[in-house]
Structure 1
């Protein structure tokens, strides 16, 4: 193992907090910082050393960033003290979902400072981050990936190296596009079945036990059994990612009809006040558009498959 590597973590939010504390539990010397002092205190209670400033966290061998969007990454990496504080020859691992464009700018700045930059967006959500069952897609210098891999294995179940440039960014956007469109389809499918007088649990059973029963369908069907719309990944977050997806497609001279339409679905959910609800709230939007109220969850009690 490579616990002798020192780690710095910038951004102790929904994903950064559970990942950094998992690394601390694995025996790594890790220091973390966040704009929210309560987050730093929470991380410290689980073994992450408090870093007084971003610059303090950035002095480590491998520095991670876990940030909400392009604007935040620009503020930290390009307009902030990150690269001035990092030592030549160290590694920056950026785990967020951001655009290929801003990522390429960070790569150029890192190269100018002699810093190896890995794009390593994680796939999964905050509910499972503490379990080590995330996956990550990685691109950047291969030697840096080889150094990073044992650390990645402490908080992910699978790691895929994809190339030397922005390949990992496109991989993450491609995955999230499939998830977003699938959620929109799932909402309409369930409501169509309700219009055909299928009981709530029956249509969920049909979807999970048919050819479309993907891991995502199984996962979301489980929460839909009780109509649990508490957020694992919010409608607002999905809208942000769809903006990145459409932007990346347009920058590549690619038409994005499904992504664009699905973005409107999430815009409607945000407009209805459901921005912080789970992204599978597409079901509730489809019900509203169809003039349906809440289903009877007891309708097929006693005859579940």
Structure 2
């Protein structure tokens, strides 16, 4: 396929490269920061509108709802350049409610739509092992599936447009609360005089075992907070959860507490650290670090 890819950051870059490695033709918009491996793998066009005019499928991997709206419908946006029949796949994590409106507008113009946010971080993007949560029609999902299979392993058609984004918000609630739980446990163990590395090792063999304990627990102990997924982006996702919760009349008390911990780390200058750095807020409150920085 001729694929346009817009959004080549920590996640988007390896996802796009996996598509190119599989033999698809890749079109990307020019940017001064465009990585050299993307330049080598893709045809670079002047802007996003030019990418949309060339592509059968346009994939978006952008930070937030306003970014997606600007690329789709803002000045120089792609909507005016899309040919009827073009499939737009939004793999960003954005508002489920706003997503439904985007889908309705593009489908009315004769295009296809799938919202397909992902989980798995930079590691999953590089390994093509992402979890992909999809919303859209059966026909549009079937058309997108061969591309998803080049980027992920656990691929689920959750329901109509917007359902993928709803699933991703639920995912981010679970991830945040698991990070908070692992951080609390390791701070507690360290304060009590136990070796946090050995505590983590012991817990990995029991019912408390999880990917968060495995990967982010190790980050907390080794102080490797270079971003796989930035705190500020997880804050954005929890804002979506809390906003939707208010609209639905659903109480999300633990989501709110996790957001407050992220906000505390961000206030200390850590908004661009990996979300496992949530532990820093708990360490400050306990006057006890899991390990020295």
TM-score, with length taken from structure 1? 0.90
**C-alpha separation in 2, matches of 1:179 and 1:116:** 30
Name the residue aligned to 1:165: 161
Map 1:1-305; keep pairs closer than 5 Å: 5-33=1-29, 36-39=31-34, 41-45=36-40, 47-59=41-53, 60-80=55-75, 81-293=77-289, 295=291
**C-alpha separation in 2, matches of 1:238 and 1:291:** 25
Report the count of equivalent residues.
Answer: 291
Q: Does the 8 Å CA contact 1:15/1:125 hold for their aligned counterparts?
A: yes
**C-alpha separation in 2, matches of 1:252 and 1:109:** 24
Give how far 1:49 is off. Answer: 1.3
**C-alpha separation in 1, matches of 2:225 and 2:36:** 29
Structure with larger Rg:
1
Task: Identify, as 1 or 2, the structure richer in helix.
Answer: 2
Match of 1:88, SS state, is coil
State the Cα RMSD in Å. Answer: 1.8
Deviations 1:244-266 (A, max 9, x none): 11112112221121111111110
Give how far 1:179 is off. Answer: 0.5
**C-alpha separation in 2, matches of 1:42 and 1:231:** 20
Q: Does the 8 Å CA contact 1:89/1:114 hold for their aligned counterparts?
A: yes
Match of 2:33, SS state, is helix
**C-alpha separation in 2, matches of 1:258 and 1:13:** 30
**C-alpha separation in 2, matches of 1:125 and 1:295:** 24
Name the residue aligned to 1:302: none
Tell me, which stretches of 5 or more residues in structure 1 are unaligned? 298-305
Match of 1:233, SS state, is coil
**C-alpha separation in 1, matches of 2:24 and 2:275:** 34
Give how far 1:41 is off. Answer: 4.6
Q: Which moved more, 1:138-147 or 1:215-224?
A: 215-224
Q: Does the 8 Å CA contact 1:230/1:278 hold for their aligned counterparts?
A: yes
| Deviating 4+ runs (over 4 angstroms) | none
Match of 2:153, SS state, is strand
Q: Which moved more, 1:66-75 or 1:186-195?
A: 186-195
Deviations 1:164-189 (A, max 9, x none): 22111111111111000111121111
